[in-house]
A and B are shown apart, each in its own frame.
Chain A
Amino acid sequence: MSRLPQDLEARLTAAAPAGIEYSADTDQYGVTVAWLGLASAADLSPVAALLKELGARLSMITCTQPSAPEEEEEDEDEESEDGEEKAEAAPKETPKTFGGTPLDGTSYEIDYHFDIAGDALTIIAYVPQGGSIASLTPLFRNADWHEREMMELYAVKVTDHPDPRRLFLDASVDGAVLERLIPFSTLVNAASTKGLWERLTAAGKKGAA
């Protein structure tokens, strides 16, 4: 029933040498939703290239910071770039993804949602705090805005982005807004007519002087 190629899992395994976690299920309408976890974020580009070959359309990119599993205490002292080997060498208290990225509430999970002829496939890549991920724009032009939005909402870096400006937030706003607690009164600052009026009149006086 699925419109995904029969040998998709094998081809994805070949494209991602660090390892994958693949699962798929088909609903009562015959629509398949597949999930593909990558052990290493470095495999993103080759896997995305394979999907492009299959005629996939990039639909959305979600960035999120998965919270640490509850039974573990917050442990923020290590930021491992290459978690897989470290995990084998010295097992840490911090829970890890199957690829070895620490799940301490500071790592990023980046989900690339693709459409293949009506079926949905999501690539999941993990990036530790302070890490970076390659831009998908060389393969999918429409990754542009998604990656710009991701860079302003989180402190995640996207390498080789052709236009890494702010997308929606003004340059005067500090970055990584979804990683901080922003009080509601601050968030809706511009919505307060009085505050806005006072700021504008102050700016006007300064300009006139």
Chain B
Amino acid sequence: MSTHDVPETFSIPVGPLHVALEEPMYFKIDVKGETVSHIDINAGHAHRGIEYLTTKRTMYQNVVLTERICSLCSNSHPQTFAMAAEKIAGIEVPERGIYLRTVADEMKRVTSHLFNVALLVHLVGYETYFMHMMQVREIGQDMLESIFGNRQDIGAMCIGGVRYDLDDKSIAYIKGALDKIEAETKDIIKTFKTNGSILRRTKGVGVLTHADAITCGVVGPVARASGIDYDVRREAPYAAYDRLPLVVHSLTDGDVWSRAMVRLEEILTSIDLLRVCLRDLPGGPVNINDRPDIPPGQAVTRSEAPRGEVIYYLRTNDTPQPERVKWRVPTFMNWDSLRFMLQDAKVADVAMIVNSIDPCLSCTER
């Protein structure tokens, strides 16, 4: 019992623009001393009305528009949208296109995961290692730029296949880049398992229990770090994932460290998948080389973006514009779990815990 006559709790704002937050989200945090007792999440700082815009553009324009929803999973949006259109129209993507889709997907996953874990190290306060990790990620970004001509919105997808092709020279270049990233990632994993600074800040912090993870319906690495062994690539395969040696990584502690670890292990798996894709890359066309009208219909398609399950609902009618496009990104599901992770956390850990769900606001609010 405190003898001082001071209020028990204080309310502090974190965000929407805050030095330690990467995204404009507003958290109203009630603290008791150094401990978080309650949080309120206030969204809406990056709402752009893209859902409305999709119904004003044609199906083919929307492939370009959906890529602009997010930068880190910019490949997953047009891919899932195109999958929905292909399902309605009964379009079969050529084999080479299917493999090249997987290649683009996994390359983006490698750089996205490296980015998130690097930011975690930055929030831990280990700036030298943050810069080193961003340097490693830069190998991946250079790879994207060399193959696609862009570092973020790679423009790889189209309805009926992909818009890029690989030759022997570019395949050899990708393999060389992957070798470098793989060696570095193995080093990073070793550091994450042994470095005292990282372990002390991240182990047992921001825990999401298995039961809470199921209640919140979280997806992606956040779910897998809390023991939910679910990956769309394995559970509902698309592209070439049904014939690749996919390993799904899951851990049980549900803390910040586990979420980072799942991402790091997934980078190695992505590199393995990329090597198999490049080895088995079939010949033939990369797309259907046609722009057929998409008939009226509806479809639900899903894919595993770096942050987890992306789901698209598409309804078309007789016009070139879709009647309704709706999608839900993994982060939309994961925000709510922060209420559990931040409960009784230390104020100093708030930014780090928020970062550990790999939040993407432009995706969430569209």
Contact = CB atoms under 8 A, between A and B. Distances in A.
Q: How large is the interface on A (under 10, 10 to 19, 20 to 34, 35 or more residues)?
A: 35 or more
Contacts of A117: 235
A67 B316 CA distance: 11
A10 to B, nearest CB: 23
Contact of A120 (B238, B302, B315): B302
A141 B300 contact: no
A120 B310 CA distance: 13
Interface string B134-148: 000000000000000
Contact of B217 (A29, A141, A169): A141
Given A29-B242, A33-B300, A64-B326, A167 B317 contact: no
B251 interface: no
B237 A64 contact: no
Contacts of B215: 141-142
B365 A168 contact: yes
Given A29-B242, A168-B365, A187-B49, A64 B315 contact: yes
A122 interface: yes
Contacts of A67: 317, 323
B237 A31 contact: yes
Contacts, number: 85
B44 A170 contact: yes
Contacts of A43: none
A57 B333 CA distance: 11
A122 B311 CA distance: 12
B349 interface: no
Contacts of B51: 153, 178
Nearest to A59: B311
A111 interface: yes
Interface in B23-51: 43-44, 47, 49, 51
Contacts of B216: 141-142
B153 interface: no
Q: How large is the interface on B (under 10, 10 to 19, 20 to 34, 35 or more residues)?
A: 35 or more
Interface string B297-322: 00110100000010101010110000
Say whether chain B's binding surface is mostly helix, strand, loop, or mixed. Answer: mixed
Given A118-B236, A170-B44, A62 B242 contact: no
B332 interface: yes
Contacts of A64: 315, 323-324, 326
B204 to A, nearest CB: 24
B129 interface: no
A142 B217 contact: yes
Contacts of B299: 33
A142 B216 CA distance: 5
Nearest to A148: B43
B272 interface: no
Given A120-B302, A145-B332, A182-B52, A169 B326 contact: no
Nearest to B309: A59
B326 A60 contact: yes
Contacts of B313: 60, 62, 111, 113, 122
A197 interface: no
B275 interface: no
Nearest to B87: A27
Interface in A152-179: 153, 166-170, 177-178
Given A118-B236, A142-B336, A145-B336, A58 B217 contact: yes
**Top 6 A-B pairs, shortest CB-CB distance:** A118-B235, A142-B217, A60-B328, A62-B326, A168-B44, A64-B324
Given A29-B242, A70-B318, A118-B234, 18 more contacts: A30-B242, A33-B299, A33-B300, A58-B217, A59-B328, A60-B328, A64-B323, A113-B300, A117-B235, A118-B232, A118-B236, A120-B302, A140-B217, A141-B217, A142-B333, A146-B328, A168-B47, A178-B52
